[in-house]
Amino acid sequence: MSDITGEATVIRNASVLAAEIGGELVLMSVSQWHYFGLNSVASDIWERLASPVRVDTLCEALVAEYDADIQVIRQDVMELLSKLVSRELIEVQA
């Protein structure tokens, strides 16, 4: 798996199950049978992955929403997306 870039398009894996439990969004990969909990910001990102979105576009939207530094957002988003990919929770198109 190559590194995710800003030019990549990402989308949720359609086979992933999601449920809110105790105020936290919990995802489950049916293929791996692992649970993955998301905090409120990561849950917001998950919601934005309902349809295909370029990583750069996602980061720009989050900067506008959270009034944060683009470099911090980009680093955090890339880290989260890498974790989601490794658990087969999202799909990446180069």
Q: Where are the domains of the chain?
A: 9-89
Give the pLDDT confidence of 61-76 residue by residue, as tens digits: 999 999 999 999 999 9
Q: How far, CA to CA in Å, does 51 sit from each of 19, 21, 22, 94?
A: 18, 23, 26, 16
13, 89 contact by CB (below 8 A)? yes
0.85 exceeded by pTM: yes
Q: Could you tell me which CATH class the domain 9-89 is placed in?
A: mainly alpha
What are 5-43's pLDDT values in tens digits? 999 999 999 999 999 998 899 999 888 788 899 999 999
